[in-house]
A = this chain, B = another copy of it.
Amino acid sequence: MIRIGVVGYGYWGPNLVRNFSDVPGGQVAAVADMSADRRALAERRHPSITTTPDAADLIRDPRIDAIAIATPVSTHFELAMQALAAGKHVWVEKPLAMNTSQAARLVDQADRCGRTLIVDHTFAYTPAVRKIRELIDADALGRLYYYDSVRVNLGLFQRDVDVIWDLAVHDLAIIDRILPERPIAVSATGMAHVPGKPENIAYLTLFFPSSLIAHIHVNWLAPLKVRRALIGGSRKMIVYDDVETSEKVKVYDKGLTVKDDAQDIYQMLVGYRSGDMWAPQLEVTEALNTEARHSIDCIERGTAPLTDGRAGLRVVQILEAASRSMRERGRTIELEAGQCAA
């Protein structure tokens, strides 16, 4: 039985408590939140769980095996370092930390302490992303051309991060999980529309060693909620629409073809092929539940999580480079491979 202390009972914390409580080998023992209102809510919903205003109470509690952190990003590093130092396993909401240096130190600390560090790349555990990875692994798409995501909605401005860190992080986590190559450079543009506040709209392009290209489009001020990625390959193309309630993943048998019509001065010899569409049935499971089970399992067995600290570090490295590129109006920033433990 892994006993978990959850730090932060804001938007995401209640989902953590619910899901870690549902996993057979897990148990949520305590919740820390600075807000008395949030603690009262936690107590009302879960009378058997202890609450405290101070995360340090959980970190030093010897009956607690793991700390799950769901606080603002700026606090992740401090809390996670202390928890690892105290011998706890650590689960951190995305993104892992505020910058590459912090993220790298967390990975090192976890290694040194021999504790499991899990970063909450939730989408990696969704049935849709797992199915897409399975298709790519089986080479169903052929040579990969692009990953192209639109992730926009009318959302609350985050206190301590720009829209890239809040939303693009999801696509970077998906890309880290499903694509067979790692990005080598990033160019980003964006804009802040509220004086003194971070960028609320941004566009990221990721370059890869091959002709694969990824683009991520995020916006906190969109009138619609869109969560749609197109993934194009030489043989098949995928539409992954996370707003759909069914058929989230559609596989199109479409692609390039060659037309041998030299007479046609208007179009080139490259045409396209259009075939059937297929939407595989997906499992009906809550990603956070799958993730919680996997996390407990990795902690118990001492195995590496799918979304470990290294994955968290890779994503933070790109986030950092993207924010920098954005502030320089799209200047390409090379991603240093050496920096990242693969």
Contact = CB atoms under 8 A, between A and B. Distances in A.
B274 A154 contact: yes
A197 B272 contact: no
**This chain: copies in complex:** 4
A246 B219 contact: no
Contacts of A154: 254, 272, 274
A221 B230 CA distance: 10
A44 B185 CA distance: 49
Interface in A152-205: 152, 154-159, 185, 187, 189-194, 197, 201, 203, 205
A62 interface: no
Interface in A211-226: 211-213, 215, 217, 219, 221-225
A35 to B, nearest CB: 7
Contacts of A146: 191, 201, 219, 221
Interface in A282-317: none
A159 B194 contact: no
A223 B150 CA distance: 15
A163 to B, nearest CB: 12
Contacts of A270: 156-157, 194, 197
A257 to B, nearest CB: 11
Range class of the A interface residue count: 35 or more
Given A225-B245, A254-B154, A329 B332 contact: yes
Interface in A254-279: 254-256, 263, 265-272, 274-279
B274 A277 contact: no
A221 B256 CA distance: 8
A252 interface: yes
Tell which of A217, A224, A255 has the most Cβ of chain B within 10 Å.
A224
A203 B230 contact: no
Contact of A263 (B35, B47, B280): B35
Nearest to A236: B223
A237 interface: yes
A209 to B, nearest CB: 13
Nearest to A22: B44
Interface string A73-92: 00000000000000000000
Given A157-B267, A278-B279, A280-B276, A189 B215 contact: yes
Contacts of A238: 223
A81 B4 CA distance: 47
A280 B258 CA distance: 22
A324 to B, nearest CB: 13
A152 B48 CA distance: 41
Nearest to A33: B265
A270 to B, nearest CB: 4
Given A145-B193, A189-B213, A213-B189, A276 B276 contact: no
Top 9 A-B pairs ranked by shortest CB distance?
A187-B330, A223-B252, A189-B205, A223-B237, A277-B279, A157-B270, A156-B267, A330-B330, A191-B213
Interface of A: 10-11, 21, 34-35, 44, 46-48, 71-72, 145-146, 148, 150, 152, 154-159, 185, 187, 189-194, 197, 201, 203, 205, 207, 211-213, 215, 217, 219, 221-225, 230, 232, 234, 237-239, 243, 245-247, 250, 252-256, 263, 265-272, 274-281, 325, 329-332
